[in-house]
Amino acid sequence: MRTLQDTIFISSVCIYKIHSYEPLICIQHKALFSVISRLEVILAILVPIFSQQDLVKRTVANISLFILYDFFSVYYHLFTLRLKWALWLFVVFITISVVNEWLYFVNHQWRLCDQISTGFEFLAECACYLLIIWQFRAPMIRLPTDQTLTVV
């Protein structure tokens, strides 16, 4: 399922780039390195706490998604209603996923919490993908300066 999700996302981004769609969010190298360095520090501190491999994998994904939210929130003032909607869905889904992950971490017999966490992590990724795809804008058509549009 995740392979299909990733394939659709990557294909969409490629199509937008081929058709010269412009991104609303222009990432500067400084911001990108800031996100990566914060992720590395958090993962270096938190990952050794968990002893189960499955929890480490999901915790890494959830932490990454929270850092992406922090990154996107800087551009909130530029977002259209549709992008704000996708961002809020992203926040709700990842929060539900993390809460259920921690409940499962506390008591491993609560299998339902693990399944809920996995499902909402998938939905959070979908909302994040929508946010990235929807932020592309169609290219502007520019007329030569000596031409004007006339209504007949």
Main-chain phi, psi angles of 145, to 5 degrees: -65, -25
Q: What is the DSSP letter of 24?
A: S
Q: What pTM was computed for the model?
A: 0.70
Structural domain total, the chain:
1
- Lowest mean pLDDT of 10-19, 27-36, 61-70, name the range: 27-36
Residue 146 lies in a domain: no
Residue 33 lies in a domain: yes
Instruction: Say how far apart CA 94 and CA 98 lie, in whole Å.
Output: 6
Q: Return the closest-CA partner of residue 25 out of 67, 82, 61, 73.
A: 73
What digits encode the pLDDT tens for the residues 66-102? 777 777 878 888 888 998 998 899 889 988 988 888 8
Instruction: Say how far apart CA 57 and CA 94 lie, in whole Å.
Output: 15
Rounded to a whole number of angstroms, the CA Rg of the chain reads: 20
Residue 145 lies in a domain: no
Query: What is the dihedral sign for C-alpha 53, 59, 61, 67?
Result: negative
Residue 24 lies in a domain: yes
